[in-house]
Structure formats: structure tokens, C-alpha cells
């Protein structure tokens, strides 16, 4: 009688047909499917990256293999060699992105800290929604807004900077009166990268362990001292990652720069002067439709250079994050 009751109990738990074994089998199958899907997705990313690199190298090889080739494509670089073309483009790309990051990084950190630790809950929720909304605005809209509304407001400031701070190489005059200069492009790039950097930094700051914050406050720290000693160190890696994402967008941005920048081809530091700079992405967008043959290969070669710069920047960011994580773990 006791044995029959045990059998009945076992059947009621596991089912008459070995439900426990079936569940284990189903779990193993799901694990295998998930593993294969994840592995396939990772391989797809690697193959896509390799395919992009192979395409750029193959298409740019006619130019890369002939250092004496000269180009007569329409534009300011007519009759120049590839190195004469790509050097100023790299300079303009890096300079514009660097200025944008100098402006955007501290502002994004400040906004993220305000939303996460200073603003009332309702206001923080509303501001977080606005930040996410700004991140979804297309770049062409930023270009239109910057070209039609922002730049005319900046021209008097540029003229004042050129007249009063012209001894600084960045503000060397005469300042442009139409405002289509690298400084305008950098400001619009900074505004464009602010939302994504702010959103990531905000989420990282919100993940700070509550016990760390309460411990700092219990030791007598003010709110700012608590942020400086607990929140910022915890979120350092996330802030660096957010900065690298913003820098990647700034390096590759096209339409907004094309719409507000009067392009040139020099190594000038004067970001307020007209027709002095261009970026790689903007140059490709403005010239590719009219380029054929070697001229098109030359533009693709500049795209390869931008591809390499982006890889180096992201690799450097990963190295910095890994070193900081290692030191934090050691401490």
C-alpha cells in the first residue's frame, strides 16, 4: 500500500511519461539553439566587418599602389596626390571631432548627474524622455536647424572672438561673416552627440550601488563629495564608453557637416575662417556623385582611412577601459 502511494505521488509530480527527463531534454535543446544563434551572430558581425574592410581595400588599391597618381576631380583638390588630399581631410576630421568632444563631454556628464542625482523624480523622468527624443532626431534636421537658425546667431560671437582673441591660433581672424566655418560644424556635432552620451552616462550613474552612496553620506560627505568619491569612479568606464560612441558619430557624421561647412583643404588651426577645412565623410558625400575611375577610388581610399581611424579610436577606448578595470580590481 505504501509503495503504491509512493508511485502515485511520483507520477503526480513528474507525470506518467517522464516529464522530468523531457524538461531536461527541452532545456538542453534550448541551450544548444541559443548557443548556435549567438555564435552565428558573432561570426556574422566579424564577417561583415571583414567584408567592409576587404571592399575598401580592393576599391582603393589602384590609388594606394600608385603614390604618384594625381587627380582632377571637381573640387578644391584638383591635381593633387592622394597624400596631399587625405592629410588635410584627416586634420579637419580630427579637429572638428576633438572640439565637439571638448564641448559635449562635460555638458553630457553634468546633464546626466542632474537627472540621476539632483532633479526631482518627475522632472528627471521628463528630462530623460527629452534626451531620448533628441537622440532620435536625424542628422539632416540638425543640419537644417544649425544652418538656418544657429549660425546667424553665432556670427557676432565669431567676429568678437576674432577681434579680441585673434592672438590665439584657434580664433585667428578675420572671422567669417557667413558662419560656415569649422567651429559651427563642431558645435552642431557636439549637440548631436550630447543625447546618446547623456543617456548612457545617466544609466551608468543610476547603477551606482546605493550602499556606496549612503556610506559616503554617512561619513559626512556633501552630495557633490558623494558624487565625486562614489558615483564618478563607479561610472568612469561607462562615461568613457559613452564618449567613444559620441566620438564615433562625430568622426563619421556627414550631412550636418556638409550643410553648414564651407569646405577647404588646409592644415589651418583657424576654426573661424571661411573655406579652410573639410572632413573625410563630408568630402566623400559632396564629391562621390561626380567622381569616376581613379577619382572614385581616391574617395574610397579616404573612406578606408576613416575606417582605420575609427578602429584605432575604439581599440584605444577598449584598452583604457580594460586598464582601469584591472586597476580597480587590484585596489
pLDDT digits (tens, 9 = 90+) for 78-117: 677 788 888 889 999 999 999 999 999 999 999 999 999 9
Residues 179-196 have pLDDT tens digits of 899 999 999 999 999 999
Closest CA to 104 of 188, 183, 31, 206: 188
Residue 6 has pLDDT above 80, yes or no: no
Residue 12 has pLDDT above 70, yes or no: no
Mean of per-residue pLDDT scores for the chain: 84
Contact 263, 286 (CB under 8 A): yes
Burial class, 303, CB count within 10 angstroms (exposed 0-12 / middle 13-18 / buried 19+): buried
The C-alpha atoms of residue 231 and residue 209 are separated, in whole angstroms, by: 9
Across residues 315-328, what is the average pLDDT? 70
Cell of residue 324, nine digits: 582601469
How many CB atoms sit inside 10 A of residue 117's CB?
Answer: 18
Going from the N-terminus, what domains does the chain have, and what CATH number goes with each?
Answer: 84-325 (1.10.3720.10)
Closest CA to 279 of 106, 98, 62: 98
Residue 2 has pLDDT above 50, yes or no: no
Taking the whole predicted model, whether its pTM rises above 0.85 is answered as no
Amino acid at each position: 500500500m505504501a509503495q503504491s502511494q509512493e508511485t502515485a505521488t511520483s507520477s503526480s509530480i513528474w507525470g506518467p511519461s517522464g516529464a522530468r527527463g523531457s524538461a531536461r531534454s527541452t532545456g538542453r535543446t534550448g541551450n544548444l539553439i541559443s548557443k548556435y544563434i549567438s555564435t552565428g551572430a558573432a561570426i556574422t558581425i566579424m564577417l561583415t566587418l571583414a567584408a567592409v574592410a576587404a571592399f575598401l581595400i580592393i576599391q582603393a588599391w589602384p590609388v594606394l599602389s600608385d603614390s604618384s597618381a594625381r587627380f582632377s576631380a571637381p573640387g578644391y583638390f584638383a591635381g593633387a596626390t592622394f597624400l596631399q588630399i587625405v592629410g588635410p581631410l584627416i586634420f579637419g576630421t580630427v579637429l572638428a571631432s576633438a572640439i565637439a568632444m571638448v564641448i559635449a563631454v562635460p555638458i553630457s556628464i553634468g546633464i546626466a548627474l542632474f537627472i540621476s542625482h539632483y532633479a526631482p523624480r518627475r522632472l528627471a523622468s521628463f528630462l530623460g524622455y527629452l534626451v531620448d527624443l533628441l537622440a532620435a532626431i536625424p542628422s539632416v534636421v540638425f543640419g537644417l536647424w544649425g544652418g538656418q537658425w544657429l549660425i546667424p546667431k553665432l556670427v557676432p560671437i565669431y567676429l568678437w572672438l576674432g577681434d579680441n582673441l585673434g592672438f590665439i591660433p584657434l580664433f585667428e581672424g578675420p572671422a567669417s561673416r557667413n558662419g560656415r566655418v569649422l567651429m559651427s560644424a563642431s558645435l552642431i556635432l557636439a549637440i548631436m552627440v550630447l543625447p546618446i552620451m547623456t543617456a548612457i552616462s545617466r544609466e551608468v550613474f543610476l547603477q551606482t550601488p546605493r550602499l556606496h552612496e549612503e556610506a559616503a553620506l554617512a561619513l559626512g560627505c556633501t552630495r557633490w563629495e558623494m558624487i565625486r568619491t562614489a558615483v564618478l569612479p563607479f561610472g568612469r568606464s561607462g562615461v568613457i564608453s559613452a564618449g567613444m560612441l559620441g566620438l564615433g558619430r562625430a568622426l563619421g557624421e556627414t550631412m550636418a557637416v556638409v550643410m553648414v561647412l564651407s569646405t577647404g583643404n588646409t592644415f589651418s588651426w583657424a576654426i573661424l575662417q571661411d573655406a579652410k577645412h573639410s572632413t573625410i565623410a563630408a568630402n566623400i558625400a559632396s564629391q562621390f556623385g561626380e567622381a569616376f575611375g581613379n577619382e572614385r577610388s581616391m574617395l574610397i581610399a579616404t573612406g578606408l582611412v576613416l575606417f582605420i581611424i575609427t578602429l584605432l579610436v575604439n581599440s584605444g577606448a577598449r584598452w583604457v577601459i580594460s586598464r582601469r578595470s584591472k586597476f580597480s580590481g587590484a585596489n
